[in-house]
Structure formats: C-alpha cells, structure tokens
Copies of this chain bind each other. A is one copy, B any other.
C-alpha cells in the first residue's frame, strides 16, 4: 500500500526523467512497456523503476507491464503538472530572458505573471508576452497578484535582498539560479537551485580526472 509521504528526493528527481521518456514513447506510438524494457532504455535497474513507481501506487499489471499513456498521466499527476502556480521572474538579463521565454513556452505547473528588473534599459521592454516591470513595484504587485513562486536570475546581493522581501510577503518557493543560498536562510521554504557554474565545474573535474 503506497504512501506519498516520505518519498525521498532521489525518487522525486527521477520522476521527471520517467515522464520525459514516457511522453517520448507515447509520441512515437509505443503503447505498452515493461519495467525491464524501461530500465534498458534509461540505464537504471528494473527493480529501481518498480520500487520508485510503487511509492505512489501500483500502476502496472502483472504479466503485462505498464500502459505508456496511463503511466505518463499518472506521473504528470504525481508531479502536479496541471497546476498553474503563478510565478514571477526576477532579473531579465541573459539568463532571466532565456528562462522567461522558456516558461512562457512550457507552462507545466507554473504560469509566469510578472517579470522584474532594476535596469532602466530593460524596464518597459517586452519578454514572454509581459512587460518588464521596475523592481520597485514588486511589493505592490505581490500584494495584489499573490504569486506563489519566484525565479531568481539576479546577482548574489540582489538575491539576498529580494529573498528577504519576498519571504516577508509570504512567498515560500523559489527557483534559484543565483549564487545566494536561499535554502539555508529560510529552512521552511521550498528551494530548487540550479547552479550552472557548479555544473560546469564538475564537468571540468571529470574531464581532467
């Protein structure tokens, strides 16, 4: 009997990969797949895949395997991808612009409702069908629009300052591309960090060793 509580992050982090691959299978017309086939394609063990899925429910059929489209939907459901959490983007520089464009295109789970920057060069410009706002308007905007998630594409110092402000305004989830460590400062916040530099450094290590 599966429980959704206490599912480890190791498991959670594999779900999007399953989802991505199942969607691809579905697109290419595959209707049925066994854990063994899946494991071969993903480079995991069949055991792990069954173990992972059974944290959430018995989605397969003994002797048959899994129905691709059904499993795909189940995972989308587990991840709550049909949510439309209102999100704001902080920083419309190179990375911020890319993320903004990406968000407006993808829209799985989140919906971008505001973009903020402090540079007068950028304020007023259009990005992802939104006009870039002055970060000075942030507080007013949040009180009115109640975003749930904030994306940090700003430098470290700005991130520290903005995190404090947004936390004060009740925002508890952050997608963090900055060098500032939000998770350490606000332990009850949900923080997902993407440190591109860190990623590149581990690549450098592995090439060299």
Listed in ascending order, the chain A residues whose CB lies under 8 Å from chain B are: 4, 9, 12-13, 15-17, 19-20, 24, 41-43, 78-81, 83, 85, 94-95, 97-99, 101-102, 106, 108-110, 148-149, 173, 175, 179, 181, 183-184, 190, 192, 194-209
Contact = CB atoms under 8 A, between A and B. Distances in A.
Contact of A204 (B20, B79, B101, B196): B79
Nearest to A204: B109
A201 B81 contact: yes
A190 B203 CA distance: 7
A20 B184 contact: no
B20 A179 contact: yes
Given A80-B207, A207-B173, A209-B4, A198 B102 contact: no
A101 B94 contact: yes
Given A179-B20, A202-B12, A202-B192, A184 B41 contact: yes
A139 B201 CA distance: 27
Contacts of A4: 209
A204 B85 contact: yes
A73 B41 CA distance: 41
Contact of A149 (B81, B198, B207): B207
Contact of A79 (B101, B110, B201): B201
